[in-house]
Structure 1
Amino acid sequence: MKQIVMGIGSLASPQWLPGADSQADGPRMHLDLGPEHPSRTGLLLIQAQCRDDAGTPRIESARVQPGFSHRSAEKLFEVRDYRQVLVLADRHDWQAPFIGELGAALVCEQLMGLVPPPRATWLRTLLSEQARIASHLAHLSFVGFRLQDEALVRRVRQLREQGRELMLAVSGNRVHPMLNRLGGLSTDLDSSQVEAFVPWAAEAGECARELARAVVDSALGRGIAILDRATINGYSLSGPVAAASGVRTDCRIQTPYLAHAQLQDELLAHEILREQGDAASRLLALADQVITSHVLIEACARHLQSVTGPVDTKLSKNIKVPDSEGYLAIEAPWGMAGWFLVSRSERTPWRLKMRTPGFANVQALQMALQGCPLDEADVAIASLGWTSGDLDK
């Protein structure tokens, strides 16, 4: 048995990994998941005990160490007014910032009894699916990088850039849109802006099919890092990770919000539950969801042709949420994102707690890595996604 310390993230020197146990013996590895992968923005350390199995090093046990980019977002919520809360929420998962600000807005609106205009609801649905595609493409960029397929890497990079340009056109910001407001959106999208998302989403769907074929043809992740149903339930895993093990957790189906109640036919027709629960299935589940999001964006664009009216609700500058508490969960790219708000009728939350799916994924890494060949550890890790803000909240 020997110990190896693996660092995932952008490091100046792979020979030195900060935060590792100074008493650890054995080599230290720097795992690179690719220039487009979200892990580049932050650091995660894994201390792994390895054994030799017929000449193949395998991970016997693993201890995951997050927290190096701790942001204290939940404490900062307590000293920000409700408009500023949305700004912070936008930044905790910067691969899908619209969904972060949306979750914070929805839980506040729930306690305020505030119902946004119908057009705002449909636009929010479209934009949340755009964010899902953008996030999944970032994580799926690992496939082309790992297989050294430059054409696939380039295609994913171009699609991600086109997605940023679409958000720039509607919000004035390529990365952090800040479109949500309590009671709706900050701005309307005209018909040409709405329609611009459709061909982009269609191309993303085709790219997802190409990525899925690459995973299947190369057997990337097949049979490794298996998570069974008991582990899924034990770690409260959700989203594509749960779907890859045959467990349905999709909040858009289980507890519909926004316009998802009207989109059940599209959601159910394209829902795929896989049974293998391995790393390959999780990568394929991401591709499945990109295709579903394309279908939903097309449906939203069709509905928005006949849904007119305002997209915001006029509110006082001094916003206070009634003395109450409530919980709301939405479907973030990696699964259930929960928001628990406690208000004391002040301008700032008394407590605003986030349940992030990336944190649950990293907790489950220690189980997924057991028995995994050391040279496929990067595949196992890439199949359980997180971003630093989402993980180190």
Structure 2
Amino acid sequence: MKNQESWVNVAFLLLIPLLILAGYKASLDPGRAAAPPGAGASPRLSAFIGAGPGSAQAAVAAANAGGPILAAYAGDSPPQAAASDPLEPLPLYIQSGTYAQAGGSSQREAIATLEQLGDNRYRLYAAVHLSGVDTVELDAAFIVDGQTVAFQDDAYRELSLTLGDDSITIDYPANAFGDPEADLRGTYYLRSAPSDESPFLRALYDSIQLSGTMRQGQLVIHTYPLGPDERWLLLEARDSEGGGTANPPSLVRYRPHTGQFAPIPWEKALETLRLQDASEAMIYEITHKRYADRYRDVLEDRATREMPENAPLSEQEAFYIATGEHSVTRTEQLRDEPAAAGSRYIQEIDSSDEATVVVHLYELVEDGEEGHTATVDWLEVDRLTGRVSSMFEA
């Protein structure tokens, strides 16, 4: 009896490592009936689990499982996987909003809007603005069915639409739609959206620590591609009353293949852009956006009035570019703060010649019986290029 108990104990000890080994092999079996990683999450969220890097939404998918998705590869190539693993597409959120091609000018700007009409139903509207005149090219409704975009109108059967994290790409055979000068083909980048529901916007806004109502359609995003693997995003706060901008803009360096956002301090923007071999035109556009926009306004106004575009700027046009004030060369505003009672803020043309117009921005400070002048800035406007430089800039 004693020998029998000894054999039972030995057999039990030998059985333990066999059980452990069997459990380990079962854990490696993809067909095992146990719950997969992410069990308990919604089906939409489970599609993101294990996706890894490759787009902005991978980092914030757990917080943004809702909303429509389209199975498509993020970026220019699908995510890498082991040879034995099935290659699955990374789901993309279909972001409603306004999109624009990069490098728009007063002569030509391509704009597209993407609107959700209902469950899996959308509308794509795209137009080219030529010298301030809208040239409508397509207005197409489509349905998303799994990985397929199906346009409802047979007229658009040759139209191709590719959706990315922050972009849409329109393609079709040459001359298939309208005037060749109003060609709509190309990539459009997200400019504005009604909310921050998409993973891309959530990650972008988190990177600059944006909070509150500014996340709800209050920002304009200007995209500047710098090579295939990098984009620069300039975020401006929209002024709900005047349609202009308020608060300092934010500059973010975005790498779409890794989904990384890197905010750039404004004082380092010029230096960083030059280190990245950005063109001088791009550098000026980013660092002097409000002046560049006003110069485009002037050129668009000239085109509307059939005036020569390359003629030197008038003093009034130069003053508008520098200050935003139309049809004048001087403004004066009474300061209404209690501490500045009686003081006046003045903008006026100080001097001009054939090449430049110099605008003086200053304050007449009332501090008792004697007042004094406090200069805010001197702005020099090039009458041929519209570029503005501050005499206080380094």
Q: Give the alignment's TM-score, normalised by structure 1.
A: 0.26
Q: Which has the higher contact order (CA 8 A, sep 6+)?
A: 1
Q: Between Structure 1 and Structure 2, which shows a larger proportion of helix residues?
A: 1
Q: Give the alignment's TM-score, normalised by structure 2.
A: 0.26
Q: Between Structure 1 and Structure 2, which shows a larger proportion of strand residues?
A: 2
Q: Which has the larger radius of gyration?
A: 2
